[in-house]
Amino acid sequence: MTNGDTTAGDRIDDLLPRAGTGPLSGQVVVDFSRVLAGPYSTMMLADLGATVIKVEGPRGDDTRHWSPPVREDDATYFLSINRNKYDIVLDFSDPEDLEVARKLAARADIIVENFKPGGLAKYGLDYESVTQTSPVPNPKVIYASVTGFGAHNALPGYDLLVQAMSGFMSITGSPEGSPYRAGIAVFDVITGLHTAIGVLAALQHKNTTGEGQLVETNLMSSAMSGLANQSGAYAAAGVTPTRMGNAHPSLYPYQPMSTKSGELIVAAANDGQFATLAKVLGRPDWLSDDRFAEAKARNAHRAELEPELLEALAQHTAQEWFEKLTATGLPCAPINTIAEGVERAKDLGLDPIVETGQGERVIPTIRNPIRLSKSEVAYDLAPPELGADDERVRAWIDTL
């Protein structure tokens, strides 16, 4: 149901139905976002039951063209972040299409956009216009605006730029090598999650007070937050972290280590775990060595401890040590490929792949990580083809 309009709410259920009883069932999200941060957040909302209407330009979301890899003719990048959405193509330079966009904004419970700062104002689709001066003002809308560097900074909002400017790349990679980016657009994803959290917080406020509000997130602030202990080290102690390869600045051993065959992640995050490691490796003498027995000393003397660790680990393969150490409860892990990681998640009973959609268009996607005991996550809509739901969305608009 949208903005208290029972007729419109019932009609959208007829024309744009969602399966299940997710906690966001009945909430209509108009998604003006593109690429990753915005679409990731709206997919999270859609998984939780919201009716998400994805608005694309005539060429479609950029990620439709980011390939390889592909599944048949679809870029897997687009497929991975756009399930459970309805799709309409609107050209904002066309007056009739712009009118449809404004009608959508006027009836939305939630709007998500990630245009350049001020980019929607010329179309009358910015927060002030939608809530105050639109042909049908929507003052109760929750309007989430995602930017690269804040609403008043016009710098292009690319994840790679933020990885560089935030300091993330300065702590990623070998100390002797070049700075590295992450293997994913990490701050786009984190910002998408922050946006979804902000929307849910605003929705709770609206449920309590009846008030909508503007929710603002940006990649740079999400990076500052996501850097956690690293940015916190500078904030609290003036310490500027540096690249340490796979080593941890505060824990040792907590990194990949070579074995007789292959590398193994060894994680001794406290003195008790290190004691277990020492015993399993046949080196209980480390526990009576003042250089190694306690965490602070181990950090200071890691250069002396490392060759002894590697000598002990060389007695068995990574898989053999994984079995031996896991049996004692010590955290450790093999370094898998993505394929091996997914298969391992299957072995653990996590069911990481779920088929999304019905009928002729069913797409395997990665399962939403949230499990709810009372209201299940839904996977009823496959990632949409461009403009697949134009007629149905326009039919719903015509009922308003």
Catalytic positions, written as ranges: 188
With b for 16 or more beta-carbon neighbours within 10 A and e for fewer, the 51-64 pattern comes to bbbbbbeeebbebb
3-state secondary structure 45-107: HHHCCCEEEEEECCCCCHHHHCCCCEECCEEHHHHCCCCCEEEEECCCCCHHHHHHHHHHHHH
Length of the chain: 400
Tokens 């990731």 identify what position? 40
Sign of CA dihedral 251, 253, 258, 264: negative
Residue 78, number of CB atoms within 10 A of its CB: 23
Q: What one-character-per-residue DSSP string does 144-159 give?
A: EEEESS-TT--S---H
Which of 141, 107, 116 is closest to 127 using CA atoms? 141
- Say how far apart CA 274 and CA 292 lie, in whole Å: 9
- Say how far apart CA 279 and CA 287 lie, in whole Å: 9
- How does DSSP classify residue 133? I
Distance set, CA 305 to CA 50, 255, 275, 293, 355 (Å): 54, 13, 14, 11, 48
- Say how far apart CA 237 and CA 292 lie, in whole Å: 26
Secondary structure class of 232 (helix, strand, coil): helix
Strands 332-334 and 263-267: antiparallel
